[in-house]
A = this chain, B = another copy of it.
Amino acid sequence: MTKVLIVDDEPQILRALRINLRARDYDVQTAADGGSALESAAAYLPDLIVLDLGLPDMDGVEVIRRVRGWTDAPIIVLSGRAGSEDKVKALDAGADDYVTKPFGVDELLARMRAVTRRHAGQAATTVLIGRHSVDVANHLITSTEGGEGTRLTPTEWHLLSLLVRSPGKLISQKQLLHDVWGPQYASETNYLRQYMAQLRRKLEPDPAHPRQLLTEPGMGYRFLANP
C-alpha cells in the first residue's frame, strides 16, 4: 500500500484529499505546516509527498529542499500561484510535478500514479505476482481475491527478494547462488531449479507457464512486474 503524506494548511482540502485517497487504498498522513511536514516525512517515510506551497510558517521551496536532502520520494506540489517563476523554482528545487489550484482530484490521482510509476523501480515494497500481493519488506503475502495468502520459507523469501528488487532485470544464476547460498555454491544450479519451481507453484497462477518468474535459458532468471 502506497504511503502518502499530504501537506496543506487548508483543512477542507486536507479532508477532501484524505477521504478520496483512503477510498483508493492509499495510506494517508497529513500535516498543516512546514515544520510538522518535515517531522512527519522523517517519521512516516512516505512513498509520495503532496505539498502545498503556501504554508504559514515556511517557504514551500525550502521544504522541498530540506526533504530532498535525505529522500528521493516523489513530490507533487500544489499551489494557488500559476506564475511561471514559482513553477520553475519548485521544480528545480526537486519537485516532480506542479499542480495549480483549483485542481481536479482525478487529475491529481493520475499524476500521483505517473510519478510513483517512475519511482517504483527501486523502492517497490509491494508487488503483484499472479493473484498475490507480495510485500517484500514485511515478508507478507495477501491474496488479491479473498482467499488465503501463501507462506514462503526463509530461503524462498531470500531468492524472491533478489528478483523483485530489480524488476525486469536479468539476474545471473551465479549471482543468485552467490547471494542466497554463499560464495562456495557458485554452480549448484539444482538449488535454483528447486526453489524457482517452488516459488512458481506458490505464486504463479499456472506454474507450468510462468508469466512473471521467467527463465532465461543458460543465463539466469528474471522477474517481470507488468505481465
Contact = CB atoms under 8 A, between A and B. Distances in A.
A92 B117 CA distance: 10
A145 interface: no
A113 B216 CA distance: 36
Interface in A174-227: 216-219
Contacts of A140: 168, 170
A45 to B, nearest CB: 19
A85 B98 CA distance: 18
Contact of A107 (B87, B153, B154): B87
Interface string A115-132: 100110110000000000
Contacts of A216: 139
A87 B110 CA distance: 8
30 contacts: A87-B104, A87-B106, A87-B107, A87-B110, A87-B111, A88-B106, A88-B107, A88-B110, A91-B110, A91-B113, A92-B110, A92-B113, A95-B114, A96-B114, A96-B115, A96-B118, A97-B97, A97-B111, A97-B114, A98-B111, A115-B118, A122-B122, A138-B168, A138-B170, A139-B170, A153-B217, A153-B218, A154-B217, A154-B218, A154-B219
